[in-house]
Amino acid sequence: MNILNLKLKSKTVGIEILVSSMLILISTIVLALVLIPFSIASEVSTLALIPYIILTFFALTISGLGIYIGIRYIKNKGFKRNKTFGTLLVVLGLGYFLYSIASYIFSNITGNIGGELQPIIAIFWAIMTIPLGLTLRNGCK
């Protein structure tokens, strides 16, 4: 069976998207509450914090959108089928997951230790985008 032809139940997709969105939201809030005060206390320049703050707002936006989509699928009110966009979401979710795992392994092999949260965020992203892409591509049961 080809995974791109898989049909998922609407409530299952909604719960998967909702759980991963909530995990992204909670981890983003915890990281923001921990890292921003410590970096300000250690006299890090505000300009150095701008990329982190932008990524925090991006993660909050993505998780908010995921919560909305998850609740909509739980209520069994899916979106219109869009084969191209669904395939794009599946490819992006799988591609980002594989890229982040490969870069994490490569950085640890070369001795550049760090970025331990990147594979975790990639797992949440894959859990959120791949089922959504499959339901947009093939519809729901």
Prediction pTM value = 0.69
pLDDT in tens, 20-76: 888 888 888 888 888 778 777 787 777 777 777 777 787 788 888 888 888 888 888
Per-residue confidence (pLDDT) for residue 3, from 0 to 100: 63
Q: Output the CA angle 12-13-19, nearest 5 degrees.
A: 90
Q: Where are the domains of the chain?
A: 7-138
State phi, psi for 100 to the nearest 5 degrees: -70, -35
